[in-house]
Amino acid sequence: MPGYPGTCAPGYPSPAGAPITGPQTFVPGAQAPAPMPGSSAAYARGAGGAPVSPSGAGRPPQAQPAPYEPPKPRIDPNQMPTPISVHMHDQEIHDEQPYSTGLKTNVPLASTNFTAIDDGNSNPRFIRLTMYSVPHTEELLKATQLPLGMVVQPLADLAPTEEPVKLIDFGEEGPIRCMRCKTYINPYMVFINGGKHFVCNICRHENDVPDDYFCNLDMVGRRLDCQVRPELHNGTVEFVATKDFIAREPHPATFVFAIDVTWGAVQNGMVAQAAAAIKDALYGGRGLPVGAKVAIITYDRSAHFYGLSPSLEQAQMMVVPDIHDMFVPIHEGFAADPIESRHVIEGLLDSLPSMFMQNRTAEPVLGAVVQAVHEALRNTGGKLFAFHTALPTFGPGSLKQRDDPKLHNTDKERTLYEPQDSFYHDWAVKLVESGISCSLYTFPNTPMDLATLSQLSTVTSGELYSYPGFEGKRDGRRFAADLRADVERTYGSNAVLRIRTSDGLRVDEHYGNLFMRNHVDVELAGVTSDTAIGALLQYDGRLDEKQDVYFQAALLYTTSDGQRRIRVHNVAVPCTTLIGSMFRNAEVDTSMNLIAKAAVTEALSQPLRSIRERLSDRCVQILTAYRRNCAAGSPPGQLILPEAFKLAPLYTLSLLKSPAIRGGADVPIDQRIFHMCLLRQLPVRKSMDYFYPTIVPIHALAGNQGEVDEKTGLVVLPTFARASYTMLDPAGAYLLTGDGSLIMWLGRQVPAQFLQDALGVSSLEQVDIMQHSLPELDTALNRKINAIARQVLPARVGFASLQIIRQGIDQAEVQFATKLIEDRNSDNMTYVDYVCAVHRQIQVEVRPKGPVEPKWSYN
């Protein structure tokens, strides 16, 4: 097992420069109070007003003394807090009953399957706050070091059990809004003076109620029609936009697929896979959103357009060799209805691979294609899916190869994160102006300067996909699944998002794939169900602790079938003056998501080394604040973690190991950029998968595991395994998924019977590791494994390609091992060691004015 780092001895040797601060700061584990990881009381999240301070008997914290002295009293890794148990617990709570958003707090975890009932606050799928108890002053927030912000996912998909968002048409007048701050009518507006006026919940302005909206109030001051008007009792509603919101006639979406057909793309199978994937995306499943049109472009040193009009027998190919002065050579038939022109489009996609089989041209002209798409969709908006394989070195927007391994892992590395010229940014801005978003699918074999190219997707609110070392056979399915998900998901264009907050707060920074011309309006050329915008809040003044704190996120967008809409999400949460309440209602999933977004954003201006230090510092500071303010009485040798934030060290460690942030010269720049882009746009739900992989043991499925539960309609899953090599059973088999890939790990001693049933082979040696999908066999076990695989993969990525790895046999195990984030890998320490290091720092912080301690230098 060469090069596999996870096998190092349990007694993690202290690295040379590690600060061992001396025995006096440590209490051996034996002296710590017995941790109670399974205690149900410990995990009850504030139910029934549990004691504010978790220092009571039922407190969740794990006392984690860290042994460093030669006689090593080992910390039992099983005692460490893990997402698995936390998630299971949260899931159990929400399996029982639906979550009413009227509670305002105690929202389900992002990873939980829940049903929410919209009782005034938006479904947490749409907006998640980092804390559901907002401190009334900035000082209070500073004291905790917790981030205050939110992640908005305005078009998020709802569970089938949840009620769809209601559409309201206010006619020509448009929705009722506050005169002063333009907040949209929402359940938290207060009607006064017998219903003649209403007070804006955001800015406290008193507005007249228009005559035709007037309604009498009941005894407690609520409008009588409160229950029949969704905008007065639902946190999320959608308004029909009036003319005032329409700058340009809305059009149904046009999806343009632009395929690089240069030699490299043909050779690695991308062209064939892309053609097949597009066909699958268009006709294999749900297809495009209703009303959307399709256009196809291919390009090498020139751009090729295709006339797809349904009256043709076959597509007409038009080559524009004049890439320096790009134009669209087709007037009608550039974009066609995928159903009407099905015969033309299918015929074209079928023949694309053979058409370019002999293409020897290199140098794809991405810049010209962007210009052409801009020209074609200038008046309608739409979406570009670009499938690109190489650094564009020809034509407009050509770039130079500038990757320099000497810069890697130095402070100068970040110059490589900066775009090398403004072409792509400038054009991306033009695309935004026309409501065109761009999903960039990259298949690099050599460095292709994603730092520059990725602006196409980041500025235009598209997504960046990367398949390094793409091999058609191996990665084709995953690519096809990604594309299909990208195409099928809810899509809107030409959107503007505006987040309004109660007086006293304002949005300081927006994170995500977006473009901003001013400080308040987030321009999104395209918005999908996965579009997530992070917002970090800042204090303007004091908040009124007697009032709730209100947030409203309004998204103006054009639906894929050409309707202009305004979707409004409202959230009200209590204001607090107590640190304990803040910690109790903090939300680690959203906080870590936002911290990650902020961290990768800073990577352009700061060396990664200091970003890593700051991430750890932040973690320590938060935990120290908790220790100081809520658990001051506990012995100094004991590590006390706040219940809601107990996974913070694990997630921080995972973030530190992310290719976006981790050290080491071995991360290719493009890979770094890809992960940075990914982190910047990840919705909270997906970031949980990113931070901790799901590992399903499949060798010992008991009872109904692997079968569909009648009640929930979901496949019953076994308890997940932890992401540590030592936790994997050599006689077992596991499915690992996290970032969309699916890996099957087979232990060396896995029983032959299992192999026979699951894969249809009798021994490990016979396993075909080149197979990229689970075989479909007529055995119960195989069916169960297939069912589990479908269940654990991120919702729509149904058919990710499979990679089979045999313990101790396949080279690829090294790659597998890096996904086990609790182990020592990726230029960082094990989970246990990291927690110890964090604990050490907390003790340093808490200790009154001791000698100056060395800072983080654990790597």
Partner 1 sequence: MDFEAIEDQDGVRCSWNVLPNTRIEATRSVVPVSALYTPLKERPDQPPIRYEPVMCKVPCRAVLNPYCQIDVRGKLWICPFCLQRNQFPPHYKDISAQNLPPELLPRFTTIEYELPRRSPVPPVFMFVVDTCLEEDELKALKDSLILSLSLLPPHALVGLITYGTMVHLHELGHQECQKAYVFRGAKDYNVKQIQEMLGIGSSVRNQAGAPPGAPANAPQQAFGAERFVQSVEQCEFTLTSILEQLQRDPWPVANGRRPLRSTGAAMAVAVGMMESAFPNAGGRIMLFCGGPATQGPGMVVGPELKEPMRSHHDIEKESDRHYRKAVKFYEALARRTAAAGHAVDVFSGCLDQVGLAEMKSMVSLTGGNMVLTDSFVTAIFKQSFQRVLEKDESGDLQMGFNASLEVQTTKELKVCGLIGPGISAGKKTAMVSDTEIGIGGTTAWKLAAINSRTTVGVYFEVANQQSQALQPGSRGLVQFCTTYQHARGEYRMRVTTIARSWAEGASPEIPASFDQEAAAVLMARIAVYKAENEEVGDVLRWLDRMLIRLCQKFGDYRRDDPASFRLGPNFSIYPQFMYHLRRSQFLQVFNSSPDETAFYRHCLFREDTTNSLTMIQPSLMSYGFEGAPAPVLLDSVSMKPDVILMLDTFFHILIWHGNTIAEWRKAGYHEQPEYENLKLLLEAPVVDAQSLLVERMPVPRYI
Residues that bind partner 1 (CB under 8 A): 301-302, 304-306, 312, 314-322, 325, 327, 329-333, 347-348, 351, 354-355, 358, 360-363
Return the number of the residue (347 or 636) whose C-beta is nearest partner 1.
Answer: 347
> What strands lie across the sheet with 190-192, from one edge to the other?
190-192, 197-199, 206-208
Residue linked to tokens 């606050």: 121
Return the number of the residue (358 or 518) whose C-beta is nearest partner 1.
Answer: 358
Shortest Cβ 118–partner 1 spacing (Å):
48
* Relative orientation angle of helices 608-630 and 648-657, to the nearest 10 degrees: 180
Return the number of the residue (376 or 522) whose C-beta is nearest partner 1.
Answer: 376
Return the number of the residue (351 or 779) whose C-beta is nearest partner 1.
Answer: 351
Q: Which two tokens stand for residue 403?
A: 């990757």
Whole-angstrom distance, CA of residue 198 vs CA of residue 189: 6
Question: Can you give the C-alpha Rg of the chain in angstroms?
Answer: 28
**CA of residue 24 relative to chain centroid, distance:** 42
Shortest Cβ 268–partner 1 spacing (Å):
18
Whole-angstrom distance, CA of residue 435 vs CA of residue 462: 11
Whole-angstrom distance, CA of residue 209 vs CA of residue 176: 8
Return the number of the residue (401 or 410) whose C-beta is nearest partner 1.
Answer: 401
Return the number of the residue (84 or 317) whose C-beta is nearest partner 1.
Answer: 317
Shortest Cβ 443–partner 1 spacing (Å):
20
Distance linking the first and last C-alpha atoms of the chain: 24
Shortest Cβ 394–partner 1 spacing (Å):
9
H or E element, residue 534? strand 533-539
Q: Under 8 Å CB-to-CB from 635, ≥6 apart: which residues?
A: 27
Return the number of the residue (265 or 785) whose C-beta is nearest partner 1.
Answer: 265
Shortest Cβ 302–partner 1 spacing (Å):
7
Shortest Cβ 115–partner 1 spacing (Å):
50
How buried is residue 563: exposed, middle or buried, by Cβ count under 10 Å (0-12/13-18/19+)? middle
For residue 381, give the nearest of 520, 531, 297, 495 by alpha carbon. Answer: 495
Q: Give phi and psi for 442, each to the nearest 5.
A: -115, 145
> What strands lie across the sheet with 505-511, from one edge to the other?
127-129, 149-152, 533-539, 505-511
Return the number of the residue (36 or 317) whose C-beta is nearest partner 1.
Answer: 317
Whole-angstrom distance, CA of residue 582 vs CA of residue 132: 8
Shortest Cβ 566–partner 1 spacing (Å):
34
Q: Which two tokens stand for residue 719?
A: 């308890």
Return the number of the residue (325 or 710) whose C-beta is nearest partner 1.
Answer: 325
Shortest Cβ 452–partner 1 spacing (Å):
22
Shortest Cβ 324–partner 1 spacing (Å):
9
Q: How many residues does the chain have?
A: 859
Residue type, 673: I
> What strands lie across the sheet with 694-697, from one edge to the other?
694-697, 733-737, 742-746, 802-806
Shortest Cβ 326–partner 1 spacing (Å):
9
CA atoms within 13 A of residue 133's CA, in its CB half-sphere: 18
Shortest Cβ 307–partner 1 spacing (Å):
8
Return the number of the residue (393 or 671) whose C-beta is nearest partner 1.
Answer: 393
Q: Under 8 Å CB-to-CB from 698, ≥6 apart: which residues?
A: 706, 718, 732, 733, 734, 735, 758, 784, 785, 788
Return the number of the residue (344 or 532) whose C-beta is nearest partner 1.
Answer: 344
Whole-angstrom distance, CA of residue 503 vs CA of residue 632: 34
Residue 168 in contact with residue 240, Cβ under 8 Å?
Answer: yes
**Strands, DSSP E only, in 28-133?**
99-100, 116-117, 127-129
Whole-angstrom distance, CA of residue 826 vs CA of residue 820: 10
Shortest Cβ 445–partner 1 spacing (Å):
17
For strands 549-559 and 491-501, give the pairing. antiparallel
Return the number of the residue (316 or 671) whose C-beta is nearest partner 1.
Answer: 316
Residue 475 in contact with residue 801, Cβ under 8 Å?
Answer: yes
Return the number of the residue (364 or 534) whose C-beta is nearest partner 1.
Answer: 364
Return the number of the residue (362 or 809) whose C-beta is nearest partner 1.
Answer: 362
Whole-angstrom distance, CA of residue 334 vs CA of residue 304: 11
Residue 709 in contact with residue 719, Cβ under 8 Å?
Answer: no
Shortest Cβ 505–partner 1 spacing (Å):
52
Q: Under 8 Å CB-to-CB from 449, ≥6 apart: which residues?
A: 391, 399, 401, 402, 403, 420, 670
**CA of residue 223 relative to chain centroid, distance:** 39
Residue 708 in contact with residue 714, Cβ under 8 Å?
Answer: yes
Shortest Cβ 296–partner 1 spacing (Å):
11
CA atoms within 13 A of residue 721's CA, in its CB half-sphere: 24
Return the number of the residue (263 or 423) whose C-beta is nearest partner 1.
Answer: 263
Residue 335 in contact with residue 293, Cβ under 8 Å?
Answer: yes
Shortest Cβ 648–partner 1 spacing (Å):
53
Whole-angstrom distance, CA of residue 591 vs CA of residue 839: 20
Shortest Cβ 383–partner 1 spacing (Å):
24
Maximal C-alpha separation, the chain: 84
Shortest Cβ 399–partner 1 spacing (Å):
17
Q: Under 8 Å CB-to-CB from 10, ≥6 apart: which residues?
A: 74, 726
Residue linked to tokens 């305002």: 104
Return the number of the residue (276 or 676) whose C-beta is nearest partner 1.
Answer: 276
Shortest Cβ 389–partner 1 spacing (Å):
15
Return the number of the residue (317 or 769) whose C-beta is nearest partner 1.
Answer: 317
Return the number of the residue (264 or 444) whose C-beta is nearest partner 1.
Answer: 264
